[in-house]
Structure 1
Amino acid sequence: MIARTTLAKIHVAKKQLSLDEDSYRAMLRSVGGVESSKDLTSEGAHKVLKHLERCGFTPKNAMHRRPRVATGRAPQIRKIEALLADAGRPWEYLNGMVKRICKVDAIEFCDGEMLGKLIAALQADARRREKR
């Protein structure tokens, strides 16, 4: 049995690619060797996901979304989001900064002081870009 998240990803791909039920079932039979996605093995699910990616499915990770933080830190997150947007950078860019500057794994673990450091670094980057 495969993980529910993998199964959900397959169904998101089905919707994103606008596969009708007959096409979806035919793909499951030919690629995964099963009639239903719930019968997939982990290897079969991997094959199906790779096939769907080759067909144009682009998985959207949680990293691409704005992080959920406490209400008190929301203004700082909005400022960070604005600085990233001005620079044309994705949230993944910030994830690297969080690990380097704050020494934590995710922005959700940052306190107000850490978020201030990230804002300062992004503002310094913006000033550098302006000089060019």
Structure 2
Amino acid sequence: MSKLARDNRNADIKKIQIARRQLAMSDEDYRAMLWTQARVHSSKDLDHVGRRSVLTYLDRIGFKPAPSKKTARPRRPTPSVDALPLVRRIRAQLISLDRKPDEYADGIAKQMLGDAAPEFFEWCHPRDLHKISQALGVEQNRRGAPTA
């Protein structure tokens, strides 16, 4: 079994177990459901078709998957219209510098502007964005990264 297939199988089995707990199924009810839906006694014995059948049945009887508890990456602010070209240039420069994250440009802004620096570089004034772009250009030249 390939790693992808094994990961999908394990994810499906976890969903089945979560649904079992969410629907407060007793062990007898759970095993009876497995037998009627896929003719198995354990979710580990389910093949792909059986897992799909069981998950479809669980959805029909009221299982609602909860959203993931993983914290999403914080969203970056939308820059103003006049700053947008400079923000795009800065992001392109970050990509050319081995895909540096946006936080790298935030750090440059904090270093250059001190206490007056906003939390995100996208909120900087266009003249400050130009300075950040110049600093990234110097870094690109120093590392020999593509500049076009």
TM-score by length of 1: 0.52
Q: Which runs of 5+ in 1 are unaligned?
A: 1-16, 28-51
Match of 1:74 among 66, 72, 84: 84
Identity of matched residues, %: 26
Structure 2 portions without partners, runs of 5+: 1-10, 23-67
**Higher helix share goes to which structure?**
1
> Cα gap change, 1:75/1:24 in structure 2, threshold over 3 Å: closer, same or farther?
farther
* Whole-Å separation in 1 of the counterparts to 2:19 and 2:104: 35
Residue equivalent to 1:6: none
Q: SS in structure 2 opposite 1:98? A: helix
Aligned-partner Cα distance in 1 for 2:124–2:87: 11
1:82-101: CA deviations, max 9, x gaps?
A: 00011120112112112111
Q: Select which of 76, 101, 111 maps to 1:90.
A: 101
CA contact (8 A) 1:67 1:107 kept: no
1:100 aligns with 2:95: no
Amino acid at match of 1:129: R
Larger radius of gyration between Structure 1 and Structure 2 = 2
Structure 1 position 109, deviation (Å): 2.9
Whichever residue aligns with residue 121 of structure 1, its letter is A
Q: Paired residues, what number?
A: 85
Question: What is the root-mean-square deviation of aligned Cα atoms in Å?
Answer: 3.1
TM-score (norm. length: structure 2): 0.47
Give the deviation of 1:122 after TM superposition: 0.3
Residue deviations 1:63-113, cap 9 Å, x none?
Answer: xx5541111111000100100011120112112112111231322431011
